[in-house]
Chains A and B, each alone.
Chain A
Amino acid sequence: MGSQVRVYRQKIKSAQTTKKITKAMELISASRIQKAQQRVAASGPYSRAVTRAVSAVATYSNVDHVLTTEPEKVERAAIVIFSSDRGLAGAFNSNVLREAEELATLLRTQGKDVVYYLVGRKSVGYFKFRRRASEREWVGGTDNPTFETAKEIGDAVVAKFLQSAGDGGVDEIHIVYNRFVSMMIQVPEVVRLLPLEVVDGVDAPGDHEVFPLYEFEPEVGDVLDALLPVYIESRIFNAMLQSAAAKHAATQKAMKSASDNADKLINDYTRLANNARQSEITQQISEIVGGADALASAKK
């Protein structure tokens, strides 16, 4: 067999092996999306209930709480970046990191210091490669986030928030994560967690409406104290679940296009190999014919 044909055969084989792997990964993530989506849906009632309660306190009482009031001067802001542990997910991680960089640039132009909290091996790697400092890191378990991790992250950022800026505390907390919109679309999203920005779920009462008076047990301040960490946790947990679902969807999409590309490569190389084989045969025939001609004319 000619050397050219052998080269093409090798390439076909390697594309086939790659395709097997990508196809398997595609199927795995496709099955995991379902589960991740179910978890997002299952955590919905909790985060809705918590959000509603927080908005109720914030709307129906005029309490000044450290977590809800805007600080006069923001010296430092924290950004929590939710990336994934593994790659092979298309632009999943670069999207979220780019969004975080844009946010950091914006905050810096407003004269704020930026500190980072990183979730997922990919963002940690990104920071390490650029020799940039981060406040804390959480790696592992982004595929299947647990509430304990969310609680840990929540505790860490709330504790930092409650510190005064002089001691290295932060005055704002932002989170950046990929939101799962559909199987095909995942959008990086930036949300300011603290001080509380948007409170949805309860309509602000109009002037003419009767102000429903909530009773608080034990006290408004205590209720807020207990409620806000819970709210932060649930938002973080939700972000982690969304990010996990989005990661699986992104992997599935990336692996699907990789399998498609492998198919195309196999097709192209098969054509080329056939071509090479055919031209080899043609050449051999013409050599034989030429040789036979030469022999015949020599005999005469």
Chain B
Amino acid sequence: MADLTVSVVSADQEIWSGRASMVVARTTEGEIGILPGHEPLLAILATGEVRVTVAGGGAPIRAQADGGFLSVAQDTVTIVARNAELVSS
């Protein structure tokens, strides 16, 4: 199965970008999980954690996103937040 191209950006820099097999985020409606092949989506994020499962295994990337949105189109996931930072586990 194809991978997702994910980038996490905040207002003043790109925080993380790479390939992933799954993204889990918290929108205003609830948690949402995105796998490759997801339909185009634009969702408003609630304050919470975004988890990115990196393709090829390895520790998941976790980021704290605060007020932003999530867009999915053609297996490209962009997580945009004014303030976002990686959470080291």
Chain A residues touching B, range: 20 to 34
A218 within 8 A of B: yes
Question: Contacts A43-B13, A46-B10, A46-B11 known; A216 to B43 CB distance under 8 Å?
Answer: yes
Please report the C-alpha to C-alpha distance between residue A181 and residue B11 in the assembled complex, in whole angstroms: 22
Stretch at the interface among A15-23, A103-111, A162-170, A226-234: A226-234
Question: Are B69 and A46 within 8 A (Cβ)?
Answer: no
Question: Contacts A49-B78, A56-B73, A227-B69 known; A217 to B44 CB distance under 8 Å?
Answer: yes
Quick one: which of B20-69 are within 8 Å of A by CB? 27-29, 32, 39-44, 68-69
Question: Are A147 and B44 within 8 A (Cβ)?
Answer: no
Question: Are B82 and A230 within 8 A (Cβ)?
Answer: yes
Stretch at the interface among A88-96, A113-121, A207-215, A264-272: A207-215
Please report the C-alpha to C-alpha distance between residue A57 and residue B73 in the assembled complex, in whole angstroms: 12
CB 8 Å contact bits of A280-292 with B (1 = contact, 0 = none): 0000000000000
A237 within 8 A of B: yes
Question: Are A234 and B11 within 8 A (Cβ)?
Answer: yes
Taking CB as reference atom, which chain A residue is nearest B15? A45
Q: Which of B7, B12, B32, B73 interacts with A217 by CB under 8 Å?
A: B32
Q: Chain B interface secondary structure, helix, strand, loop or mixed?
A: strand
Please report the C-alpha to C-alpha distance between residue A147 and residue B9 in the assembled complex, in whole angstroms: 14
Q: Chain A interface secondary structure, helix, strand, loop or mixed?
A: helix
Question: Are A218 and B42 within 8 A (Cβ)?
Answer: no
Question: Contacts A45-B9, A147-B11 known; A223 to B69 CB distance under 8 Å?
Answer: yes
A42 within 8 A of B: yes
Residue from A39, A49, A53, A216 with most neighbouring chain B CB atoms (10 Å):
A49
* Min distance, Cβ B74 to any Cβ of chain A, angstroms: 8
Q: Which residues of B contact A39 (CB under 8 A)?
A: 12
Chain B residues touching A, range: 20 to 34
CB 8 Å contact bits of A23-62 with B (1 = contact, 0 = none): 0000000000000000100110110011011001100100
Q: Which residues of B contact A102 (CB under 8 A)?
A: none
Taking CB as reference atom, which chain B residue is nearest A43? B12
A222 within 8 A of B: yes
Q: Which residues of A contact B10 (CB under 8 A)?
A: 46
Question: Are A213 and B39 within 8 A (Cβ)?
Answer: yes
Question: Are A230 and B69 within 8 A (Cβ)?
Answer: yes
Q: Which of A46, A147, A213 interacts with B80 by CB under 8 Å?
A: A46
Please report the C-alpha to C-alpha distance between residue A60 and residue B39 in the assembled complex, in whole angstroms: 13
Q: Which of B7, B14, B69 interacts with A226 by CB under 8 Å?
A: B69
Question: Are B44 and A223 within 8 A (Cβ)?
Answer: yes
* Min distance, Cβ A167 to any Cβ of chain B, angstroms: 28
Question: Contacts A147-B11, A217-B27, A218-B28 known; A50 to B41 CB distance under 8 Å?
Answer: no
Question: Are B71 and A56 within 8 A (Cβ)?
Answer: yes
Question: Are B12 and A147 within 8 A (Cβ)?
Answer: yes
Q: Which residues of B contact A (CB under 8 A)?
A: 7, 9-14, 27-29, 32, 39-44, 68-69, 71, 73, 78, 80, 82
Other A-B contacts than A43-B12, A56-B71, A223-B42, 14 sampled, CB-CB below 8 A, are A45-B7, A46-B80, A49-B7, A49-B78, A53-B78, A53-B80, A147-B11, A151-B82, A212-B40, A214-B41, A217-B42, A217-B44, A218-B28, A223-B44
Interface CB pairs A-B, < 8 A, 8: A56-B71, A57-B42, A147-B11, A147-B82, A213-B39, A217-B43, A226-B44, A230-B82
Q: Which residues of A contact B (CB under 8 A)?
A: 39, 42-43, 45-46, 49-50, 52-53, 56-57, 60, 147, 151, 212-218, 222-223, 226-227, 230, 233-234, 237
